[in-house]
Chain A
Amino acid sequence: MNEEVKLLKGNEAIALAAIRYGVDGYFGYPITPQSEILETLEAEMPWDTTGMVVLQAESEVAAINMVYGGAASGKAVMTSSSSPGISLKQEGVSYLAASELPALIVNVMRGGPGLGTIHPSQADYFQATKGGGHGDYHLIVLAPKTVQEMADFVYLGFDLAFKYRTPAMILADGIVGQMMEKVVLPPARPRRTKEQIAEQCPWAVTGKLASRKQNVVTSLELDTAKMEENNNRFQSTYRLIEQNEQRYEEYLTDDAEYLFVAFGSMARICQKVIDDMRAQGIKVGLVRPITLWPFPAEVFDRLSQKVKGMLVVELNAGQMIEDVKLASQCRVPTYHFGRLGGIVPNLGEISDAFFKYFPDAKK
């Protein structure tokens, strides 16, 4: 299977990309607005083609623990859900991180807290980037803004997860999940063979071979000195990821006097606002973090030394703005604009907010 052009919903793109990547297993539970991922996988019947296992679990809790079992055996496994379901998965996510298991978790965010709404939101930024479950850990968090990136980040997410032996998350929202766009599906890869898995994942539980000691996948260590050692190892992996994997996109930042900062679907909405403002001669640009963790601190450190101010636009009450301020060392006035509860701001609201905070920009 070579590249294939399709018109797909973001959720469908994730499902089809998973099959093409050679994912071994998907375990999920229905929840709006991401159920098309499980539905598409069930309809595609990849068990007949690539041998991929797809299973509707009895709960999000069970699904993430099936992922834990599959990942422990060295397989490429994933799950997906939306905000309330992701909260349920957090126990398992913490175990995955602590057991240094690669896996992919997709969160197509909806408005919360609580059962909330089914409409788009970005209110799980803190949960995704600061840990989510208990203990000191991070996930690699990728924020797609297009349906194309929904597909591409399945590949990137798994590649990074295996490279660093850590779970990765695609943090999307209802807009990218539900919208349709043109997608070029990446070239298909065969699923890894048993031998390839054994070589890539010597730690995997496969049945103890005479040639090696037993493999135990566990997050438990009652000896505090050893547990600190484990934590130090996790932290050095995180430092390495921070060094190597910061990803972001700049849009018209070269001569920008003010910056919009947004991730995922909001970055696209801001791009349109910027185009309209540029047409009026206002020099604005956009920075879009692609990895929300590791946060692309470098670009904010650099650009905050030359712009006059930043407006962080998020579908939440102000979460990523904290990282923007830290990374830019609060050098310039930095404000937040967001709508809550599943409401997506219109373009006018965003530019109004910009001029409210930066009235001088009009001159």
Chain B
Amino acid sequence: MNINDIIKPENLVYAKPRLLNDNHMHYCPGCSHGVVHKLIAEVIEEMGMEDKTVGIAPVGCAVFAYNYVDIDWVEAAHGRAPAVATGVKRLNPENLVFTYQGDGDLSAIGTCETIHAANRGENIAIIFINNGIYGMTGGQMAPTTLEGMKTSTTPYGRSVDLNGYPLAISPLLAQLDGTCYVTRQAVHTPVAVRKTKAAIRQAFENSMNGLGTSLVEIVSTCNSGWKMTPAQSNKWMEENMFKKYPLGDIKNTVK
């Protein structure tokens, strides 16, 4: 048996989606972004929406999402992705428009834009990566940082007295009449990955069906920021993050 016997098409068990290009990702080994990027590329490809999709990239680690997912992108100012998405979608209703935002972008500096886009029921999908920390700028506290969690700006652990409570923004957005689907998922196990993919697909379909705003929160790890190995990060996430941010659908009006 030689290599040519092995690479026959009928032996193919897994392929990278075509829309995920060959650029080297700048994400740290163990980071959740790569998996979510791949899922987005797969869903767009499977929906046949490549020529209709516009992604809105955030400021944060995913600022370079456009370097990896081979679709049209707009790179927004920090926190403004839902407003930028509103502009694109309102003027191009035939497009599939989604934002890809981290917890700093979506739930700190962009809270206003997030809430109002969702409250208007903009027909967009919001992919929300919540890893409880600012990865790109070097591990500072995010609104979603857990109580007691150490970051470079809470070196002795987040204190509620000083920094307030961890912000669970998805349940808050679920209360708005403009959202049709709010779910919280993860990508730390194959099962979780499959569920997240289904959630992204539903969110994208909702927006094309004009049902309102869909939000897919993906509780994620940041092993560099958390200063753990990837395996430790997954365990820590399950034991700590999931307590504050339990997985599952928070709202689904589209059954």
Contacts and interface: CB of A to CB of B under 8 A. Distances in A.
A207 B94 CA distance: 10
B83 A66 contact: yes
Interface string B55-94: 0110000011010001111111100100111111111100
Contact of A69 (B49, B63, B70, B83): B83
A65 B90 CA distance: 13
A53 interface: yes
Interface centre among A58, A69, A92, A206 (most CB of B within 10 A): A69
Nearest to B53: A207
Contact of B77 (A95, A206, A207, A209): A95
B95 interface: yes
A70 B91 contact: yes
Interface residues of A, number: 38
Interface stretch (A216-224, A243-251, A306-314): A216-224
Contacts of B50: 207-208
Contacts of A68: 74, 76-77, 80, 83-84, 87
Which of B57, B63, B87, B89: most chain A CB closer than 10 A?
A: B87
A8 interface: no
Interface string A56-83: 0111011101111111110101000000
A146 B50 CA distance: 48
B194 interface: no
B95 A65 contact: no
A188 interface: no
A235 interface: no
A216 B66 contact: yes
Contact of A207 (B52, B70, B80): B52
B112 A210 contact: no
Contact of B83 (A65, A206, A210): A65
A55 interface: yes
Most interface-central of A27, A66, A71, A77 (chain B CB within 10 A): A66
B84 A65 contact: yes
A215 B95 CA distance: 14
A22 interface: no
B135 to A, nearest CB: 16
B63 A73 contact: no
B54 A205 contact: yes
B147 interface: no
B113 interface: yes
A215 B87 contact: no
A339 to B, nearest CB: 36
Q: Interface size class for chain B?
A: 35 or more
B116 interface: yes
Contacts of B64: 220
A24 interface: yes
Interface in B101-121: 112-113, 116
B51 interface: yes
Majority DSSP secondary structure for residues of A touching B: mixed
B84 A58 contact: no
Interface in A214-243: 214-220
Contacts of A71: 87
A84 interface: no
A69 B85 contact: yes
A25 interface: yes
A91 interface: yes
Find the residue from B49, B63, B66, B83 having the highest chain A CB count within 10 A. Answer: B83
Contacts of A67: 87
Interface string A154-178: 0000000000000000000000000
Contacts of A209: 51
A77 B88 CA distance: 11
27 contacts: A25-B90, A57-B116, A61-B112, A62-B113, A63-B83, A65-B87, A66-B87, A66-B90, A68-B80, A69-B88, A70-B87, A70-B88, A72-B74, A72-B84, A73-B91, A77-B91, A95-B77, A205-B73, A206-B72, A207-B50, A207-B95, A207-B96, A210-B51, A214-B72, A218-B57, A220-B64, A220-B75
Interface of B: 49-54, 56-57, 63-64, 66, 70-77, 80, 83-92, 95-96, 112-113, 116
**Which 8 A-B residue pairs are closest in the complex by CB-CB distance?**
A69-B87, A218-B75, A65-B83, A66-B87, A69-B84, A58-B116, A205-B72, A70-B87
